[in-house]
Amino acid sequence: MTAQVFTVTSGKGGVGKTTAVANLATALAMDGKRVVCIDGDIGLRNLDVVMGLENRIVYDIVDVIEGRCKLKQAMIRDKHYPEMHLIPAAQTRDKNAVSPSDMVRICNDLKPDADFIIIDSPAGIERGFRNAIAAADRVLVVTNPEVSAVRDADRVVGILEAEEKSNPALIINRLNPALVKNNDMLSAEDVLDLLGIRLIGIVPEDETVIIGSNRGTPIVTDVKSRAGMAFRNIAKRLQGDDVPFMDLAPQSGLWNAIQRLAGRK
Amino acid sequence: MNIIMDSTTAIVQIKGIRDGLLATFADSAWEDQRGALMDQITERSAFFQGARLAMDVGTQVLKVNDLVELRDWLSERNITLWAVVSESPTTESTAQLLGLATRISKPRPEEARHVLETIPDDTALFVAKTVRSGTRIEYPGHVVVFGDVNPGAEIIADGNVIVWGRVRGVIHAGAKGNREAFICALDLSANQVRIAGETSAMLKPQKDPRPEVASINKEGKLQAELWHPGDNTPRK
């Protein structure tokens, strides 16, 4: 079996690409899959921090490309899931150190020994983005329910269409059901209506996600977190399972109060 | 060495134009043309450093992969491929898909008038997909879109614009000053539409969108009206 390559991208920065990569990869690893994450953000690496692997880095992707180490040496094993690996970005180089054909070659070398390869794309639509999508079998577009993020996502979808990277899937991140209900935030329907691509998941706003990122423990491992649940569902859908979408209607009254007291809201 | 140089320079000619460098090719297979261009660039890399390159590929039929590969190779050498001129419609649409220009420079005023005259009044460009953010379509005739026009997209037509879908980007009909031009859409909730020199006031998004027609009325103001069956009065 050969691995499927997913690239996570967004156009706009700060919408949660890296968080999505860390959580989806961890969720897939929790399901027993062999996963390799590649940080495509050369020069601004941070996937290693979010995955809690920063102090294990010896070699990075540019070392592999420039032949200073073997591919296996640059693969960092995860602390909790031995079947999950990270290939970190170089912090001291820029995106020109990598070319689209380098990415394709690395992915081809990884494919026989993995089930999923997940590439974290940098923000923007420049060289780094083109590197990140070069090897992709499927592209996951992350956006927030904000006008500016959706417009950038639309631009990215247009480029993907032009590059014949067909069938991108959409992740709407940080949706706040209470704000949507009061018409203070775009709804998932508004976003889908504009982008017109397939939805693969909606992740509710959840402050524990940031805490998880800072601690280097993706929220997806917390069985009680609703955002973690959303990421686990997306991971199932990536594996081809048909999982129903979560009900994100704001919970009212007592249940909401209890949740808030429990610190999960 | 000299012989190799000669054969590559025979296949590819590079000259300076107003907008950078232009590569033209002798009739040959694309692999040879591309190889010759790459050889030239490798040999004189300092000269090409930071250049803006246009290519005239004649009748060569190129697919997305061909151009993407070359564009990436060039960008690794700090050369920007910005235009691909071709007589082949396939190559031209490939270039457009990749956001490359297909004409090298804007025609001079006399030429522009000439182009306008040679395009019959009823010529239209048919766009069979949603026009997304960052896309700009300019056409010297009418434009018909089967899909939406999203925010951040622009359509500029010398004739009329008809959108079978929602309009939320910018549309300019009659861009060369034709005040008879009109814009039709199933849902016209654009921030702004323009006809000739007139600009619409903000069009509010409707809860229950209905087809609308925007045109310049007798008072000389741009207005949008709901379309009713039987409304299609002949327009010039």
Using one digit for the tens of pLDDT, what is the confidence trace for A176-220? Answer: 999 998 888 999 999 999 999 999 999 999 989 989 888 889 999
CA distance A97 to chain B (A): 9
Backbone dihedral angles phi then psi of residue A139, each to the nearest 5 degrees: -115, 130
Count other Cβ atoms within 10 Å, centred on residue B218.
5
**Secondary structure string (H, E, C) spanning A117-131:** EEEECCCCCCHHHHH
Q: Is B164 helix (H, G, I), strand (E, B) or coil?
A: strand
State the best of B69, B77, B93, B132 to mutate against chain A, taking most chain A CBs within 10 Å: B132
Asked if B100 contacts B83 with a C-beta cutoff of 8 angstroms, the reply is yes
| Domain parsing of chain B, residue ranges | 2-97, 109-226
C-alpha to C-alpha distance for B80 and A87, rounded to whole angstroms: 30
CB of B68 closer than 8 Å to CB of B37 = no
What is the model's pLDDT at position B101?
A: 81
> CATH number of the domain that A155 lies in?
3.40.50.300
- Residues of chain A neighbouring B99 (CB-CB closer than 8 A): 159, 162
Mean pLDDT over B58-76 rounds to 86
Residue A71 structure tokens:
């591919």
pLDDT in tens, chain A (265 residues): 689 999 999 999 999 999 999 999 999 999 999 999 999 998 889 999 999 999 999 999 999 999 999 999 999 999 999 999 999 999 888 878 898 989 999 999 999 999 999 999 999 988 899 999 999 999 999 999 999 999 999 999 999 988 888 789 999 999 999 999 888 899 999 999 999 999 999 999 998 998 988 888 999 999 999 999 999 999 999 999 999 998 887 655 555 555 556 655 4
The reported pLDDT for the residue numbered B8 is 62
> Phi and psi for B94 in degrees, rounded to 5?
-60, -50
CA atoms lying within 13 Å on the CB side of residue A119? 31
Q: B109 pLDDT band (50/70/90 cuts)?
A: very low
Q: Are A96 and B76 within 8 A, CB to CB? A: yes
Domain that residue A146 falls in: 4-261
The alpha helices in A163-225, defined as continuous H runs, are: 177-181, 188-195, 208-215
Fold of B109-226: Pectate Lyase C-like (2.160.20)
Residues of chain B contacting A, Cβ within 8 Å: 64, 68, 72, 75-76, 97-99, 129-130, 132-135, 148, 150-152, 168
Distance from the Cα of A149 to chain B's closest Cα (Å) equals 12
Chain B's closest residue to A147, CA to CA, is B151
Q: What is the pLDDT of residues A22-47, one digit of tens each?
A: 999 999 999 999 999 999 998 889 99
What is the spatial distance between Cα A182 and Cα B13, in angstroms, rounded to a whole number? Answer: 63
Q: CA-to-CA distance for A238 and A230, rounded, in angstroms?
A: 12
Q: A141 or B229, which is more confident? A: A141
pLDDT at B92: 83
- Exposed/middle/buried for residue B129 (C-beta within 10 Å: 0-12, 13-18, 19+): middle
Output the six-digit token pair for B66. Answer: 């061909």
Q: What residues are paired with B212 via a beta bridge?
A: B185, B226
What total number of domains does chain A contain? 1
| CATH number for domain B2-97, candidates 3.30.1370, 1.10.10, 3.30.750, 2.60.40 | 3.30.750
pLDDT digits (tens, 9 = 90+) for B115-149: 444 455 678 899 999 999 988 888 889 999 999 99
Q: Which of A102, A52, A31 lies closest to A215 in space, CA to CA?
A: A52
Number of H helices, E strands in chain B: 6, 15
What span, in angstroms and rounded, lies between the C-alpha atoms of A151 and A136?
22
**pLDDT, chain B, mean:** 82
- Does residue B110 surpass a pLDDT of 50? no
The mean pLDDT of B1-27, rounded to a whole number, is: 72
